[in-house]
Structure 1
């Protein structure tokens, strides 16, 4: 009769012996996949990819066509305004005294004028130049009175009227006066608006005429006092 207990015991011992003789198996990995180990190049590429969104966020958007046009138009406008301001700054305004001689309107630079006075006693000088009327005293200062009417080819004035005035100017540190039929007003004229070569009447060829302009609607002749008085000879 077979002894089942012995057979089972012997079989168990045989399995145990085989297990001890077999090499050890590696431990199994825990459940779940472990993260892959990246090579250096792969790590650098990953970092570069992760940085790109931030770099793109800081980049300035390219200006549109409308924005470029506005910027260009603004620069042109600024340049035009600068040129306009510069042109205004370079514009020369003249301040002039206007008066009447023989029904003609004249003007001289007000900076040359010392005083405007009413007619007074004049002492004639023998053998003086035809343009010299005489001399007069103005608060102790000697003023030489000249006849600009003759210089401007106008007839003699005759007796003074209530409107007659003497315009006193400073010419080469000398006080010079000349008679005018009537003083009008002080006006401002743009030097660019003065025509350099007038053709208006007999004085058009006279070098003492600087030009003509309109003041109060009237054609006015601007005189050059230096040239007007330069050719006269004072035989005092």
Structure 2
């Protein structure tokens, strides 16, 4: 855009506007895998404390934790995505997220166990691209898109689909039925 100053009659150089930020994401690691989630769902990030295991749960349900008097289920995000189970180490974290429920249900607070949290990054408005239909490590419907961050392409997870209450309940119930048969 060119701006003319009437007093001096010369053209000022174009004003460089900062790119509009569409959203912010939190970069996570699960093993060697790097993903991001929308920061708007993140409530807090905690060091891993005591997790209480629950019987007959699938591997992605690591247990529950006490969060200021509330019992919060903890989901191993890598295991849920079919990548790898988290190994508890010094950098491991539980990311507390709030997932919007279906129309007739309230939102739900869950903990996501990850191997590391890296940073909060800005995704420019034009920086989120559609996920390719193949060539991804996880189900395409679990992806909101692909973001270009610090020179690499990082998949951005669609938490509402990854943590869909109906799908999780179905998988937990199926695993419990199989577990009872094997006992």
TM-score, normalization by structure 2: 0.71
Aligned equivalents of 1:219 and 1:153: distance in 2?
20
The structure whose RCO (Cα within 8 Å, separation 6+) is larger is 2
Gaps of 5+ in 1: 1-84
1:152-231 equivalence runs, <5 A: 152-158=81-87, 160-171=88-99, 172=101, 173-198=107-132, 199-203=134-138, 205-230=139-164, 231=167
Aligned equivalents of 2:21 and 2:152: distance in 1?
21
Contact 1:105 1:218 in 2 (8 A): no
Contact 1:95 1:189 in 2 (8 A): yes
Aligned equivalents of 1:175 and 1:128: distance in 2?
18
- The equivalent of 2:9 in structure 1 is none
Aligned equivalents of 2:140 and 2:79: distance in 1?
12
* Count of matched residue pairs: 146
SS at match of 1:150: helix
The answer to whether residue 164 in structure 2 is matched with residue 232 in structure 1 is no
With over 3 angstroms needed to count, the CA separation of the structure-2 counterparts of 1:200 and 1:101, relative to structure 1, is farther
1:42-191 equivalence runs, <5 A: 93-158=22-87, 160-171=88-99, 172=101, 173-191=107-125
Aligned equivalents of 1:118 and 1:148: distance in 2?
15
Q: Which has the higher strand share?
A: 2
TM superposition shift of 1:154? 1.0
- The structure having more radius of gyration, on CA atoms, is 1
TM superposition shift of 1:118? 0.3
Following superposition, which runs of at least 4 residues in structure 1 exceed 4 angstroms of deviation?
A: none
TM superposition shift of 1:129? 4.3
- The equivalent of 1:20 in structure 2 is none
TM-score, normalization by structure 1: 0.56
